[in-house]
Chain A
């Protein structure tokens, strides 16, 4: 389990990395944390002619914010973001989801943006990116910048659909609204193992406890995550305190998977479909509890079981 030969270059700047990508053959890859890439290279599942290490590029480890968004640079490590006060405050959904990514000893090296690029089945960060309508900020040749929505990036059944020879310089996540609740849940065979299914959800309630806005994203059921658009429509305007409504929406969310449910060594598609329902219920229930306008008992049944 030793990698095949490749050349390694420490990119001096993000532009330099892109320059190198463009002049190299298509197998060249950006190297950030490498926690997915290096094992795949060791197993010789993939090969590459060139690895471009972007971890020292100025500015890529920055976390910046505007009124509405937090932007996380490509060199920001998962452990640092998990512990970051800004992230915990403004994108708590991401902070919570990061606690489920692999194990602490992997998060010390892996990056948030790296997860988005790898698009591993069941990946937590891609799921969150869909739930938060994240934008990926790409850099291509000559300093040209473009944005892609996470939705477009994960539009196909597998893989991150990125233009060739571009670098994801950063990812932007919208900040939590004042009265917005969030929830993340995951089903694993063993703590620290992969996600069989996971769900990220956000929820805003109006003053009557009815759903004002909701996002639900499901990962692991299919290779790429998806937004449960139909379930969201079902929930809009509904009484968030009614567990029946939450449960029904969860079934819709699980059923609306746009690609076949995955069967692999760890679980069948049928199992994942069922587990996804429970994951959605848990994520929505947590989100509801965190809505600052939610009061249990005020709006319908409060049978809290997932």
Chain B
């Protein structure tokens, strides 16, 4: 087995007396080994140790959805998980579903529909939408609102988000450049 990665800011924990546990998991298809403090939240592990800063910590208690990632195929809050709990898991973050360049289809629909304003809630939301797409939810089913009820947005009022998500679930494909009007 390879040496565990030391991760960022390991020196920040020096002499803290924190017990640490080895962690081995797959993040965005890459194997990660680390030795981390037991109390390190998964959100901090992903953001600070692995530099995956797309997910946002907003409420810190699992209520708002901003920190949502995919763990073993299901959307989950990274702020209510310890990193050490995810040993052996497969985690996908927004960085893992981004196209190499530009936007994927869901993201293009979000842009076209003006489904984001400040963009802070967007990365977490896109992970839930990713799962909804994988599960083949029907665009007009009440499951759509049910999944999206796990996300709070303070800017958009949700209307354009619902539009974008329904269009994505309906399989709409947009051309490369967004249309100006309509």
> What is the interface of chain A, defined by CB distance below 8 A to chain B?
1-8, 10, 31, 34-35, 38-39, 41-43, 51, 53, 55, 79, 99, 102-106, 108-109, 190-192
B156 CB-CB contact with A under 8 Å: no
Residue of A nearest to B77 (CB): A105
B81 CB-CB contact with A under 8 Å: yes
Residue of A nearest to B42 (CB): A38
* Contact A105/B81 with A2-B39, A4-B39 known, Cβ cut-off 8 Å: no
B150 CB-CB contact with A under 8 Å: yes
In contact, A39 and B80 (Cβ under 8 angstroms) = yes
* Contact A104/B38 with A10-B87, A39-B61, A53-B85 known, Cβ cut-off 8 Å: no
In contact, A191 and B146 (Cβ under 8 angstroms) = yes
B62 CB-CB contact with A under 8 Å: yes
Complex CA distance for A192 and B145, rounded to whole angstroms: 10
Complex CA distance for A8 and B75, rounded to whole angstroms: 24
A51 partner residues in chain B, CB cutoff 8 A: 38, 82
In contact, B19 and A7 (Cβ under 8 angstroms) = yes
In contact, A109 and B81 (Cβ under 8 angstroms) = yes
24 pairs from A and B in contact (CB 8 Å cutoff): A7-B19, A8-B19, A8-B38, A10-B84, A10-B87, A31-B85, A34-B80, A34-B85, A39-B60, A39-B80, A41-B39, A42-B60, A42-B80, A51-B82, A53-B84, A53-B85, A103-B149, A103-B150, A104-B150, A105-B68, A105-B77, A106-B80, A108-B75, A109-B81
Complex CA distance for A4 and B71, rounded to whole angstroms: 25
How many Cβ-Cβ contacts under 8 Å join chain A to chain B? 100
In contact, A106 and B82 (Cβ under 8 angstroms) = no
In contact, A55 and B77 (Cβ under 8 angstroms) = no
A3 partner residues in chain B, CB cutoff 8 A: 39, 41
A34 partner residues in chain B, CB cutoff 8 A: 80-82, 85
B165 CB-CB contact with A under 8 Å: no
CB distance from B137 to the nearest CB of A (A): 11
Complex CA distance for A99 and B149, rounded to whole angstroms: 12
In contact, A6 and B75 (Cβ under 8 angstroms) = no
B44 partner residues in chain A, CB cutoff 8 A: 2
CB distance from A288 to the nearest CB of B (A): 24
B17 CB-CB contact with A under 8 Å: yes
In contact, B60 and A192 (Cβ under 8 angstroms) = no
B18 CB-CB contact with A under 8 Å: yes
A31 partner residues in chain B, CB cutoff 8 A: 85
B149 partner residues in chain A, CB cutoff 8 A: 103, 190-192
Most chain B C-beta atoms within 10 Å of own C-beta, residue among A1, A8, A35, A79 = A8
CB distance from A192 to the nearest CB of B (A): 4
Complex CA distance for A31 and B65, rounded to whole angstroms: 22
In contact, A79 and B80 (Cβ under 8 angstroms) = no
CB distance from A19 to the nearest CB of B (A): 18
Complex CA distance for A191 and B143, rounded to whole angstroms: 12
In contact, B77 and A106 (Cβ under 8 angstroms) = yes
* Contact A191/B71 with A2-B39, A31-B85, A55-B85 known, Cβ cut-off 8 Å: no
Instruction: Give 18 A-B pairs besides A1-B61, A39-B62, A42-B41 with Cβ atoms closer than 8 angstroms.
Output: A6-B19, A6-B39, A7-B38, A8-B38, A10-B87, A35-B77, A35-B80, A38-B41, A38-B80, A39-B61, A51-B38, A79-B74, A102-B62, A104-B128, A106-B62, A106-B80, A108-B71, A109-B81
